[in-house]
């Protein structure tokens, strides 16, 4: 699938079939995360793959009962400010979060290119998610990936001229 077709096809899907994501596809998705650009190549993030079904259930509760995690691949992206090569709050507070979100975006695009669907979960109880995955890092996104059980509606974008301005 071409890059632009992948971007065009990617939509949020919140219900997934019982078919698990194949290990070969999981590895390709994780490799895409690993290859994502980051500030000075520092990879200021960590990705937690949730395989335990009880942890998935707890994560659903921590995301205000957004049901998405049956047999899907669930990845939690956390910023890791200790890896930042820049001194100061901009590096620690911004670059680490940006790196984690770039990696999460690459995961979604890789999933789409492999015929899978995904949903980005950003509304969650941060401390509870960190406790569930046993980390002191800051969770910034949860991505659930799987085979869709629904057909997403066509995307309704704003007009391009409303988003992009020449200055």
The pLDDT-based confidence of 64 (bands split at 50, 70, 90) is very high
Phi first, then psi: give them for residue 57, nearest 5 degrees. -60, -40
Helices 23-35 and 96-113, axial angle in degrees (round to 10)? 140
pLDDT tens by residue, 83-140? 776 667 777 778 889 999 999 999 999 999 999 999 999 999 999 999 999 999 999 9
Structure tokens belonging to residue 24:
């070969």
Superfamily of domain 12-150: NADH Oxidase (3.40.109.10)
* Residue that the structure tokens 């259930």 belong to: 57
Residue 106 structure tokens: 């690459």
pTM, rounded to two decimals: 0.90
């Amino acid at each position: 699938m071409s890059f632009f077709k992948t971007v065009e096809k990617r939509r949020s899907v919140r219900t997934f079939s019982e078919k698990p994501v194949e290990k070969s596809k999981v590895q390709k998705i994780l490799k895409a995360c690993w290859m994502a650009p980051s500030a000075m190549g520092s990879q200021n993030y960590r990705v937690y793959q949730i395989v335990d079904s009880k942890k998935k259930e707890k994560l659903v509760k921590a995301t205000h009962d957004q049901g998405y995690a049956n047999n899907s691949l669930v990845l939690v992206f956390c910023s890791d400010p200790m890896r930042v090569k820049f001194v100061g709050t901009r590096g620690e507070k911004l670059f680490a979060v940006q790196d984690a979100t770039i990696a999460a975006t690459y995961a979604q695009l890789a999933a789409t290119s492999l015929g899978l669907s995904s949903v980005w979960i950003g509304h969650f109880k941060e401390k509870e998610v960190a406790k569930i995955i046993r980390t002191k890092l800051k969770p910034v996104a949860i991505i659930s990936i799987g085979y869709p059980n629904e057909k997403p509606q066509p995307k309704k974008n704003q007009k391009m001229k409303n988003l992009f301005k020449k200055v």
